[in-house]
Amino acid sequence: MEAELVSRLANDLVWIRPELLLAGFALAATLVGAWLGDRVGGLLAGLCAVGLVIAAFFAWQMRPAEPQLVFGGALSIDGFSGYAKAVIALAAAATLLLGADHFARRNERRFEFPILIALSAVGMFVMVSANDLITLYVGLELQSLAAYVLAAFRRDDARSSEAGLKYFVLGALASGLLLYGASLIYGFTGSVRFDVIAASVADGGLGVMFGLVFLICGLAFKMSAAPFHMWTPDVYEGAPTPVTAFFAAAPKLAAVALLARVLYGPFADLEDQWRQVIMALAGISLLVGAFIALAQTNIKRLMAYSSIHNMGFALMALAAGTEKGASAALIYMTIYLPTTIGAFAGILAMRRDCKDVETIEDLSGLAQRKPWLAMLLTVIFFSVAGIPPLAGFFGKLVTFQAALDAGLWPLAVVAALATVISAAYYLNIIKVMWVNPPAPAFQSSGPTIAMTAGLATLLIFPVLVVGFGWVEQAALLAATSSFP
Amino acid sequence: MSGVPILSLMTFLPAAGALLILAARWSSSGQHAGHDTGVKWIAFIVTLATLALNLVALTQFDASQPGFQLVERVAWGAGLEYHMGVDQMAMALLLLTNFLMPLCILASWNIEKQVSAYMMLFLALHTLMQGVFGAMDIVLFYVFFEAGLIPMFILIGVWGGKNRVYAAFKFFLYTLIGSVLMLVALIFMAIMAKTTSIPELTAFAQQGGFAKDLQIWLWLAFFASFAVKMPMWPVHTWLPDAHVEAPTAGSVILAGVLLKMGGYGFLRFSLPMFPDASAFFTPLVFVMSVVAIIYASLVAFRQTDIKKLIAYSSVAHMGFVTMGIFAGTEQGVQGAIFQMLSHGIISGALFLIVGVIYDRMHTREIAAYGGLVHRMPVYAAIFLLFTMGNVGLPGTSGFVGEILTMAGTFPVNAWVTAGAATGVILSAVYALTLYRKVAFGKLENPALATITDINAREWVMFVPLVIGTLVLGFAPMIALDFTKASTQAILAGYDVFAGR
């Protein structure tokens, strides 16, 4: 009996290699950091990046054809989670690269940064593997707590502290909503396990419905879908820029994947009910993100509204309620991540007289001062605007396909029109860079920032475009193997 | 047929040239003298080589065989395909594109600002324009169609005139709003027909795959895109702004090639795929075309800016194209295709003509000129020829296109034809007035006293255009026989379903 338990535990542990690796790193690094102090900050960041890449590799390896339930069904290791984890880990590694130069030149290289990123990544891993409501909550909180600290990372800066506090208070409210929903669901279905809920959800009645709506609200907050987006611009603006880049990338994918898991797993039978909620969230996010961004002058705030707008697309794909919808959301986010990381690399390169500048006007005439950077940013912003042949277009294409396939053409038309509105502000950035009279030149950005921007741009065009079929296959496989 | 993917080679050769310029810029930082001249030569040679490839492709192409030829097909992902091929109409427009491109590079020889970027964008645009005409997959078509916005936006925004930013935004957003609606419609069609291949979609549509009510919505979505691109009245207002502000070569490409994408789209998608809806909306298109012809001609007459005048005349001439297409007769469609080719040459030439004096005087105001014939006799002769082409004088290609579209429309709707015919008179009014004010009279502006006639580079630029418009004017059969097979194929489907 005991031997069997041990062997099962050993087996389960093998399946969570990526999580173990990162959690182990975080614990060890805390000790080393406490002992040696900030001197090892750079070294730890490097190790953490390597660890994240290895974790991504492990996760990619573990995409079984059949979902693998471990730890008594608390976690599900399947194609979907494997895919999501791999992308999350790579995105987190990229933000470490961005942070390296940024913190080094400000002389703020703290050893906690990689640790918090690693812990947040573990939280996201748990989120996308969650197979019961408790695991879901634990994963979400682990990710969020690390994120709250990261937002307030610049301790002596009022804006950063404000961002952290705001994020924390509002995040706690969202967690409360989510917990309340989870408890309602538990009460009306009798279990926290997704598969048990799935079996009894149809007879759960109004109670389950209430629970589901609260749950969706909590998750919508985490992914900053309107009308739960209020925190996003302030936190994006206040947090140190590499941290903002992190917020804008990996956790967004994790939240989308988690939402897909919840909607398509336990609540698949309630599709007709939740679809309306998701459609409303998608439509509002698309429009709010498009319209309010028009008035922004700070580029970090603009990126916040841009991310809200983009979440609308992912939600539109999820609203389809089909495997195609889940895979479209994954593809959309996969393409969104390099784009947004590339954009933030550009923002990090905006540094003048030893100070970071962050208004759109500061980019004036960049094409004459720094033609290469301007070219990369042009590609990146045309990609977010969804102009072919850049990768962003293909992301939008698959979400449109998924939505139209499910007959959601009114939402698709709203999305199409919102795209045009959003194109106006992306174009404005490009115009500022190419047409405006040049402002004083930026200082040269560090090597890792330049490298990240270059890599992100190469991914946007041509790697992800030529390899689009491959991404699409992988995402479709992930969706079909996980949501039978 | 040889196994060489000649269509792809020719399409992507300019893109390769752009990468070459990028590499040169990378290695030399663009600092040393002569770099810019080198870049211009690279661009010129690459566009010439593309034209040569196009001529080679022409030898492998059978003009009498209907359907697509030189087909290349590779799976891409998500049900998409890299699927290229051309029929006669596409081939004709490809030839026009590749014919105009080297001339555009020559016209850009005086650019001094960020030459590498300018030439790279132009070459990228060249690839994208060829892709539009070569694509046989509906999504691939959209990719090329839409991607052209990027280089055009930057070209107008950076190298344009005074009001360039406003024009660039207007151009981009107008076109984008039409295109995204088309994107939604074309995904919808692809889902229904379970294919993204244009010939398969056409076959599906002609077997009654799209019900009439659905066709109407799909037609409107496509119309939103093509009408803006064309541009048809009342969504033409981006064109005068974009034209006026674009650099000379940008205007040539805009008028010569980009506007043709609208007509191409109508013929490739609207007519064969939504025959019922096309028949249903024909009166609407007729009205819009006639209004465009008359209204734009009247507006052109009142312009004080030469480029704006020519831009409005483009709107009027495109009205003949839409009228001919939706007449749905063989003469009408043949005339429309011919009018597109002819307008590509004539309006391209007119913009180059403006470019010549703009390079010397840096103004486009009509009032600043006058009496040019005294100082620039050769220039004035060329200008006269293309003015006559614009008016539609027999012997120039402009005449053939107009007369054919009108003859094709007459049996369908005589009133519309009558309206269009008044446009021909009006075009004479504005074009000849322009010519009189610019070329004739006394040399009154002292700044004109030292203006020089066209130089060798400009000779090279204009001679092919002069030959083109005269050959098409005297022997229109060359083009008409060539495009006949594709026109008949397009109309074969339309006639049955339009109840004719």
> Chain B residue closest to A381 (CA)?
B150
Residue position matching structure tokens 């400000």: A106
- Answer yes or no: is pLDDT of A89 > 50: yes
What single letter denotes the amino acid at residue B346?
I
Find how far residue A414's CA is from the centre of its chain. Answer: 23
**pLDDT range class, residue A32, cuts 50, 70, 90:** very high
Is the separation of the CB atoms in A398 and B151 below 8 Å? no
Bridge partner list, A76: A69
Burial of B221 per CB tally in 10 Å (0-12, 13-18, 19+): buried
Furthest CA-CA distance within chain A? 77
Look at residue B132 and tell me whether its pLDDT is greater than 90. yes
Return the pLDDT at B30: 57
**pLDDT, position B32:** 66
Give CA separation, B257 vs B158, B174, B245, B363, B385, in Å: 21, 18, 17, 25, 21
Question: Chain B: nearest CA to A423, how far in angstroms?
Answer: 8
- Please give the residue of chain B at the shortest CA–CA distance from A422: B173
CA A383 to the chain's CA centroid: 17
Give A167-192 pLDDT, tens digit per residue: 999 999 999 999 999 999 999 998 99
Quick: pLDDT tens for A384-410. 998 988 999 999 999 999 999 999 999
Q: Which of A412, A416, A473 sits opposite B77 (nearest CB)?
A: A473
**B135 phi, psi to nearest 5 deg:** -70, 135
**Are A87 and A337 a contacting pair, CB within 8 Å?**
yes
pLDDT at position A484 is: 63
Question: Which runs of E-coded beta strand occur in A272-395?
Answer: 351-352, 355-356
A208-223 pLDDT, tens digit per residue, is 999 999 999 999 998 8
CB contact under 8 A, A367 and B176: no
From the list B154, B169, B172, the residue facing A434 with the nearest CB is B154
Query: Under a CB-based contact definition with an 8 Å cutoff, are residues B104 and B122 in contact?
Result: yes
Calculate the average pLDDT of chain B.
87
| CA-closest candidate to residue A219, choices A109, A137, A288, A157 | A137
- Percent of chain A residues topping a pLDDT of 90: 62
Distance (Å) from the alpha carbon of B142 to chain A's nearest alpha carbon? 8
Collapsed DSSP state (helix, strand, coil) of residue B319: helix
Based on its alpha-carbon atoms, the radius of gyration of chain B, rounded to whole angstroms, reads: 22
Instruction: Give the 3-state secondary structure of residue B29.
Output: coil
Are B169 and B242 within 8 A, CB to CB?
A: no
pLDDT exceeds 90 at position B448: no
Query: Is there a cis peptide before residue A227, judged by omega within 30 degrees of 0?
Result: yes
Find the chain A residues whose C-beta atoms sit closer than 8 A to any C-beta of B: 367-368, 371, 378, 382, 387-389, 393-394, 397-398, 400-401, 404-405, 409, 412-413, 416-417, 419-420, 423-424, 427, 430-431, 434-435, 468-473
Alpha helices in B328-455 (DSSP H): 330-361, 372-375, 377-391, 397-409, 414-439
Instruction: Establish how many alpha carbons lie within 13 A of residue B425's alpha carbon, considering only the half-sphere containing its beta carbon.
Output: 4
B86 forms bridges with which residues in the sheet?
A: B69
How many other CB atoms are there within 10 angstroms of residue B414's CB atom? 10
- B172/A427 touch (CB, cutoff 8 Å), yes or no: yes
Give the pLDDT score at A366: 87
Q: Which residue of B has its CA nearest to A421?
A: B173
Token pair of A28 as six digits: 């060890």
The residue written with tokens 């079984």 in the block is A64
Residue type for position A473: Q
Q: Per-residue pLDDT for B71 more than 70?
A: yes
pLDDT digits (tens, 9 = 90+) for A39-69: 888 899 999 999 999 999 999 998 888 888 9
Give the span between the Cα atoms of B285 and B266, in whole angstroms.
11
Least confident of B152-161, B339-348, B472-481: B152-161
**Whole-Å CA distances, B59 to A77, A282, B9, B70:** 58, 53, 15, 11
Q: pLDDT band for A298, please (50, 70, 90 cuts).
A: very high
- Tokens 């009798």 belong to residue: A190
Rounded to 5°, the CA angle B170-B176-B181 comes to 140
Q: In which element (H, E) is residue B75 found?
A: strand B69-77
Q: How many other C-beta atoms lie within 10 A of the C-beta of residue A297?
A: 10
Q: Do B169 and A378 touch (CB under 8 A)?
A: no
> Is pLDDT at B495 greater than 90 in this prediction?
no
Collapsed DSSP state (helix, strand, coil) of residue B475 = coil
A447's CB contacts (< 8 A; 6+ apart) are A101
Give the pLDDT confidence of A347-360 residue by residue, as tens digits. 998 888 878 888 99
Separation between Cα atoms, residue A442 and residue A433, nearest integer Å:
13
CB neighbour list of residue B111: distance below 8 Å, 6 or more residues apart: B118, B159, B247
pLDDT of B1: 42
Instruction: Please give the structure tokens belonging to residue A173.
Output: 């409210």
Reported as a single tens digit per residue, the pLDDT across A436-478 is: 888 888 888 788 888 888 899 898 888 888 888 888 888 888 8
Share of chain A above pLDDT 70, in %: 100
Question: Is the Cβ pair B165, A404 closer than 8 Å?
Answer: no
The 3-state DSSP composition of chain A as helix, strand, coil percent (nearest 5) reads 80, 5, 15
Residue B70 φ/ψ, nearest 5 degrees = 55, 40
Residue B275 one-letter amino acid: P
Q: Do B173 and A409 touch (CB under 8 A)?
A: no
